[in-house]
Structure 1
Amino acid sequence: MLPYWRLSAYYFFYFGFVGAFSPYFALYLQSISLSAAEIALLMSMMQLMRIVAPYMWSWLAEHFGKRVAILRLSALMSLAGFTGFFMTTEFGGLLAAMALMAFFWSAALPLIEGLTFSHLGAEGHRYGSVRVWGSVSFIVAVLVLGQALDHVAIESVLWVTAAILGGVLLCSFFVPDAASTQAGHVAMNLREVLQRREVRALLGACFLMSAAHGAFYVFYSIYLVGAGYDKALVGWMWTLGVVAEIIVFMLMPRIMRRFGLRSILVFSFACAVLRFVLIGWGAGSLPVLLFAQVLHGVTFGAYHAAAIAVVNRWFTGRLQSRGQALYGSISFGAGGMLGALLSGYTWDAPGPEWTFTFGSVFALLGLAWLVRGWPASAQDEARNP
């Protein structure tokens, strides 16, 4: 029986942390007089640690059969690392605290994704109904905190985020273990999977999609505040994107039954090309920004649900967690780090407009790689029944 609420509760607190941390922590860093390059470097530590650490943690989890134990260790040490932000405002100390937190935090997502698919088994199309609670909590965190920050000190971000990490730790003790699905296919090794052209195309395109989002996750809140919007509206803008994401997650079972996963991914990349151009050059038009945020439902929601479904299908048996970790490391790790660091050095010159335009270029390159490397004739292989 699917432990729906226990898995959903973990996603709820996990993405509640993301909702408090991603939109507002950069504003806290700006408030203590860090430069754009320093902010980008600090925020990119989350991506840097996701390059190597998730694969290491997933290998350990599968080798020793301790996925849940490592999930709990991740939650405990992430909270311990975050406490460092209460102790210093010096860049070196902040960097150390961020590195410690990010190293352990990076273990969590591929493990919980692998566990969720293990519990779902043949019902992988139901992933969106579990994952949607993460999107709900993101909305709660980003809205409540966005409204509050117009009335309370920016340091409140630290206390709220630490409390949510405590919730992640608590929920980790209720997540049940599960045997890996498709265990009959253990004979295939990682090298054989990676030799497939479509696998390399997917991972390369995912790298570029995360790079396209780099400036968005680091500077979007700063961008809106600088354009004259208040923090409450910033919260609503983030919320709009996640509401669109929730709707897409709820519709994904139907969408996946009707369209091949390749087609969903191609459409997602095309929307990303449009989205970041609109954000970069549309700051003066709220309707344009609103439409660009609605596209988040496609550029993250549909894209991520389709990508992890393909990864789960191509990396089977004991490769399941490592496949999810590899996807996370290459995309959110390496790709996200590239996008975040590049945005830190282009933000002041040539400016926000061109920084977001570079995101569109990354998405366009990813689209081209995906289409060229994964022929349309092969898309039925990745279609849900």
Structure 2
Amino acid sequence: MFPYWRLSAYYFFYFGFIGAFSPYFTLYLQSLRFSATDIAILMSLMQGMRMLAPNLWGWLADRLGVPVLIVRLSAFASLAGFSIFFLTESFAGVFVGMALMAFFWSAALPLIEGVTFAHLGSQGNRYGSIRAWGSVGFVVAVLGIGYGLDHLPIASVLWMTALVLGGILFCALWLPDAPRALVRRDGGASLGETLRRPEVRALLGACFFMSAAHGALYVFYSIYLVDYGYGKALVGWMWTLGVVAEIAVFLFMPRLLRRFTLRAILLFAFAAAVLRFVLIGWGVGSLPVLVFAQLLHGATFGAYHGAAIAAVNLWFPGKLQSRGQALYGSVSFGAGGMLGGLSSGLTWDGIGPAWTYTMGSLFALAGLLWLVYGWRPGRELQGRANEGE
């Protein structure tokens, strides 16, 4: 029987952690009197570890054939690393805790994506309905903690986030193993041959720039709104609005994939990102503008991620699945996210938030151009043909 609810529950808590951590942990760091540069460095450790850890853990999972066991180890070690935040408020101590947590936490997502697609088999178009539960978890966490922080001290975000990490650990212990025949099947192109395909390089390069474009959003969006005078509950609703749009896109993704090519969906998502970050940077004084910009999250993450991961699943089949997912995560969320986070920390106090978000739009534009000229139309159809041979 297909383990729909066990996989969905894992996604619920995994992305619930992001809903607890990304919007509010920066506010906690700000309460410790860390500078914008310090905050950017600490938050960029999450992306930095995504460059190293997913490839290491993906290689290990492929060698040993035990992706679920590594997911369980990741959940336990992530909670242990996060516990360091309860023991210290120094920059060095928080740095160590963040590095340990990020190293193990970033191992899980590429592996769980591979496990999910292994269970789905030929029903890959059902991925969106499972991944949507991750977005629901994000909404529950971001709204619940947002309202809670209007009445509780900011340090309480540590306890609330630790509870979500505990939920990840519980669900990881409950996860079923992937069908070994699907995980370990041989045949097809090698990793090197796959990476030499121009459309694969264009996708990975564009994903690098898309994550860089989101850097200022994930590091400074909550601080930006609170400093402008918006309440923490409203901040939670703004994050929620974007994720609701993301959920809608995930649920409609099977229809979109039947009607449009992966390339067309990605081009639209990148164009939306160019517009979105300009609107956030220069329209912070207008709530309707911010609302519209957040609705674009459905395109800049929902449609983008759904199409990108479908392409990765298509071009990195069988024994390449774990490494393909890890490569996608490390190049985009890792290297790209680190560039976006660090660069926004360096420019936030220098050229200001508006120009920092404009820089994000330029990153998205670079990714859009790489896709336009690097991925010729119809290349995903060739990938399907190769996979079926």
Corresponding residue number in structure 1 for 2:342: 341
Secondary structure of the residue aligned to 2:154 is coil
Answer whether contact 1:50 1:329 (CA < 8 A) is retained.
Answer: yes
Secondary structure of the residue aligned to 1:292 is helix
Matched, 1:288 2:289: yes
Answer whether contact 2:11 2:133 (CA < 8 A) is retained.
Answer: yes
Q: Mean Cα displacement is larger for which, 174-183 or 63-72? A: 174-183
The alpha carbon displacement at 1:215 in A equals: 0.4
Corresponding residue number in structure 2 for 1:133: 133
RMSD over equivalenced CA pairs, Å: 1.4
- Could you report, residue by residue, the CA deviation over 1:23-52 in whole angstroms, capped at 9, with x for unpaired residues? 000000000100000000000000000001
Measure, in 2, the Cα distance between the counterparts of 1:177 and 1:201: 33
- Could you report, residue by residue, the CA deviation over 1:65-103 in whole angstroms, capped at 9, with x for unpaired residues? 111110000000000000000000000000000000000
The alpha carbon displacement at 1:226 in A equals: 1.0
Q: Could you say if the C-alpha distance between residues 185 and 372 of structure 1 is closer, same or farther in structure 2, counting changes exceeding 3 Å?
A: farther
Matched, 1:314 2:315: yes
Question: Equivalences for 1:68-217 in 2 at 5 Å?
Answer: 68-178=68-178, 179=180, 181=182, 185-217=186-218
Corresponding residue number in structure 1 for 2:6: 6
Between Structure 1 and Structure 2, how many residues are aligned?
A: 385
Matched, 1:66 2:55: no
Corresponding residue number in structure 1 for 2:325: 324
Corresponding residue number in structure 1 for 2:370: 369
Corresponding residue number in structure 2 for 1:352: 353
Q: Could you say if the C-alpha distance between residues 182 and 26 of structure 1 is closer, same or farther in structure 2, counting changes exceeding 3 Å?
A: closer
Measure, in 2, the Cα distance between the counterparts of 1:184 and 1:146: 45
Report percent identity of matched pairs. 68
Question: Equivalences for 1:228-307 in 2 at 5 Å?
Answer: 228-307=229-308
The alpha carbon displacement at 1:62 in A equals: 1.1
Answer whether contact 1:275 1:292 (CA < 8 A) is retained.
Answer: yes
Answer whether contact 1:182 1:316 (CA < 8 A) is retained.
Answer: no
The alpha carbon displacement at 1:378 in A equals: 2.5
Measure, in 1, the Cα distance between the counterparts of 2:33 and 2:184: 52
The alpha carbon displacement at 1:187 in A equals: 4.3
Answer whether contact 2:188 2:317 (CA < 8 A) is retained.
Answer: no
- Could you report, residue by residue, the CA deviation over 1:124-168 in whole angstroms, capped at 9, with x for unpaired residues? 111010011110010010001101111110011100000110110
Gaps of 5+ in 1: none
TM-score, length-scaled by structure 2: 0.97
Measure, in 1, the Cα distance between the counterparts of 2:285 and 2:155: 29
Answer whether contact 2:269 2:303 (CA < 8 A) is retained.
Answer: yes
Measure, in 2, the Cα distance between the counterparts of 1:344 and 1:180: 46
The alpha carbon displacement at 1:3 in A equals: 0.3
Measure, in 2, the Cα distance between the counterparts of 1:183 and 1:99: 31
Answer whether contact 1:261 1:382 (CA < 8 A) is retained.
Answer: no
Measure, in 1, the Cα distance between the counterparts of 2:183 and 2:198: 22
Answer whether contact 1:211 1:338 (CA < 8 A) is retained.
Answer: yes
Answer whether contact 1:24 1:157 (CA < 8 A) is retained.
Answer: yes
Corresponding residue number in structure 2 for 1:29: 29
Q: Could you say if the C-alpha distance between residues 383 and 57 of structure 1 is closer, same or farther in structure 2, counting changes exceeding 3 Å?
A: same
Equivalent position amino acid for 2:230 in 1: Y
Answer whether contact 1:262 1:382 (CA < 8 A) is retained.
Answer: no
TM-score, length-scaled by structure 1: 0.98
Q: Mean Cα displacement is larger for which, 170-179 or 32-41? A: 170-179
- Could you report, residue by residue, the CA deviation over 1:321-364 in whole angstroms, capped at 9, with x for unpaired residues? 10000000000000000000000000011000000000000000
Q: Could you say if the C-alpha distance between residues 154 and 341 of structure 1 is closer, same or farther in structure 2, counting changes exceeding 3 Å?
A: same
Equivalent position amino acid for 2:251 in 1: M
Measure, in 2, the Cα distance between the counterparts of 1:184 and 1:20: 38
Answer whether contact 2:314 2:384 (CA < 8 A) is retained.
Answer: no
The alpha carbon displacement at 1:380 in A equals: 3.5
The alpha carbon displacement at 1:108 in A equals: 0.5
Matched, 1:46 2:54: no
Measure, in 2, the Cα distance between the counterparts of 1:106 and 1:208: 19
Equivalent position amino acid for 2:32 in 1: I
Gaps of 5+ in 2: none
Measure, in 2, the Cα distance between the counterparts of 1:156 and 1:116: 33
Q: Mean Cα displacement is larger for which, 220-229 or 372-381? A: 372-381
